[in-house]
């Protein structure tokens, strides 16, 4: 049976390290601040924003919430982003996605100052990730890399398969695995022979958004299986993309949902915010 990778424990370690460094900065009179902008009243977004605020409090950051009504105009939102760009207390800016349909997400993300873009969604940061000289890690894929490291499996030379090619998970995930010298295959909805490709993977990362999508016949004996998916099953319970019960009998290591990748995303956001504060401090020296 597979080793169950404990995302809660790994994320607690990352947060503890961030907390320690934040305390050192505070002792030198520097506080770290994250601004979180939420537009509208999507219940899932509200939960994510609350969790981010809680994580900020835990590691000793200031958090500034801007909860705007659903009918906020693009101009109003861009004005707020500009204000936060120029606010010295704010080291990181996060605009919770998705935005209401009348707002252009790309335009809003592109308006965030790249050195405050702690989600690493700005094209400048995406470019840095592609090249490999990045300061900000894309939060979810970076969390996955921490979890893989925790298994003790070295990515170098391994066959890595990523299912999904979104800008926030699949693409940067493939890049991070490539930077660690994995041999990476990106797959998507048009991929032929998906089952065979997945079954060849030493490391399989699923970011599809479909419950029980990855079944045991798609998994190589002993593989590391990382489940990024966050779906609801028939009973409304949170579940991933992997058929956990059958796959855990075949994999070498596997992340559960909940308790796997989810807690890592916020921990990496905290790390990025700390990095942002340190870099901005150096720039003003
Ligand atoms: P997304 O933008 O909807 O992308 C899904 C990807 O899956 C697409 O690239 C799509 O291919 C591919 N796909 C869909 N059906 C497929 C099929 N039959 N075979 C192969 N590939 C298929 O989703 P996302 O934003 O990347 O998120 C993926 C999942 O991760 C979701 O469940 C989301 O909730 C979760 N998530 C979790 C965290 C976390 O912190 N744990 C963070 C972010 C996302 P095409 O490109 O061809 O359409």
224: domain CATH number is 3.40.50.720
Percent of the chain with pLDDT over 90: 95
| 158 and 258 inside one domain | yes
| Predicted pLDDT at 136 | 87
Residue nearest ligand 1's atom 42 by CA: 140
Indicate the SS3 state at residue 181.
coil
pLDDT digit string, tens, across residues 28-86 = 999 999 999 999 999 999 999 999 999 999 999 999 999 999 999 999 999 999 999 99
Segment 154-159 shows an average pLDDT of: 98
Q: Residues 119, 150, 202, 241: which is the catalytic one?
A: 119
Instruction: Please identify which of the residues 52, 171, 180, 250 carries the catalytic annotation.
Output: 52
192 CA → ligand 1 middle, Å: 17
211 and 173 in one domain? yes
Is residue 157 predicted with pLDDT exceeding 90?
yes
Domain membership of residue 82 as a residue range: 29-113
Residue 119: predicted pLDDT:
96
Backbone angles phi and psi of 99, in degrees to 5: -90, 160
Q: What is the pLDDT of residue 252?
A: 98
Q: What is the pTM of this model?
A: 0.96
Tokens representing 213? 């999508």
Tell me if 209 is assigned to some domain: yes
Residue 23: inside a domain, yes or no?
no
pLDDT tens for residues 122-142? 999 999 999 999 888 899 999
- For Cα atoms 150, 155, 157, give the angle at the middle one, nearest 5 degrees: 160
Residues 190-202 have a mean pLDDT of 98
Query: Mean pLDDT in the chain?
Result: 97
107 shares its domain with 202 = no
Known active-site residue 52: yes
Rounded to the nearest angstrom, the distance between the alpha carbon of 168 and the centre of ligand 1 is: 9
Candidate from 105, 190, 209, 233 with most ligand 1 atoms within 8 A of CB, to mutate: 209
Q: Is 255 in the same domain as 155?
A: yes
**For the sheet containing 203-206, what is the strand order?**
3-4, 253-254, 224-227, 203-206, 159-163, 183-187
91 and 153 share a domain?
no
Ligand 1 neighbours, Cβ below 6 Å, are 140, 163-166, 168-170, 187-191, 194, 207-209, 228-231, 261-262, 265
Q: Which atom of ligand 1 is nearest to the CA of 188?
A: 21
Query: What CATH number corresponds to the domain at position 97?
Result: 3.40.50.10860
What is the whole-number distance in angstroms between the Cα of residue 178 and the centre of ligand 1?
Answer: 19
Flag whether 24 is in a domain.
no
Q: Cα-flanking dihedrals φ and ψ of residue 104, to 5°?
A: -85, 105
Torsion of CA 135, 169, 51, 152, to 10 degrees: -70
Strand partners of residue 102: none
Does residue 282 have a pLDDT over 80? Answer: yes
Residue 103: pLDDT over 80: yes
283 is catalytic: no
- pLDDT-derived band at 117 (thresholds 50, 70, 90) equals very high
Is 154 a known active-site residue? no
Same domain, 68 and 149: no
């Amino acid at each position: 049976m597979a080793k169950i990778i404990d995302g809660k424990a790994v994320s607690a370690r990352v947060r503890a390290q961030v907390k320690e460094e934040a305390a050192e900065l505070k002792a030198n009179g520097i506080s770290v601040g994250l601004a979180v902008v939420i537009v509208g009243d999507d219940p899932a977004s509200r939960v994510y924003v609350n969790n981010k605020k809680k994580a900020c409090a835990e590691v000793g950051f200031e958090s500034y919430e801007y909860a705007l009504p659903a009918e906020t105009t693009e101009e109003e939102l861009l004005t707020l982003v500009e204000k936060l760009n120029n606010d010295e207390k704010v080291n990181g800016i996060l605009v919770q996605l998705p935005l209401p349909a009348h707002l252009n997400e790309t335009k809003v993300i592109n308006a965030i100052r790249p050195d405050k873009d702690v989600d690493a969604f700005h094209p400048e940061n995406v470019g840095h990730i592609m090249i490999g000289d990045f300061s900000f890690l894309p939060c979810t894929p970076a969390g996955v890399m921490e979890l893989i490291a925790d298994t003790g499996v070295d990515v170098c030379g391994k066959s890595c398969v990523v299912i999904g090619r979104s800008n926030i998970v699949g693409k940067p995930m493939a890049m991070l695995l490539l930077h660690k010298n994995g041999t990476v295959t990106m797959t998507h909805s048009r991929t032929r022979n998906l089952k065979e490709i997945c079954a060849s993977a030493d490391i399989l990362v699923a970011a599809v958004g479909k419950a029980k999508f990855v079944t045991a016949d798609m998994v190589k004996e002993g593989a590391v299986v990382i489940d990024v998916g966050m779906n609801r099953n028939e009973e409304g319970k949170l579940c991933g993309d992997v058929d956990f019960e059958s796959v855990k009998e075949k994999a070498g290591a596997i992340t559960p949902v909940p308790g796997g990748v989810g807690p890592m995303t916020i921990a990496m956001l905290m790390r990025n915010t700390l990095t942002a504060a340190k870099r901005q401090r150096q720039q003003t020296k």
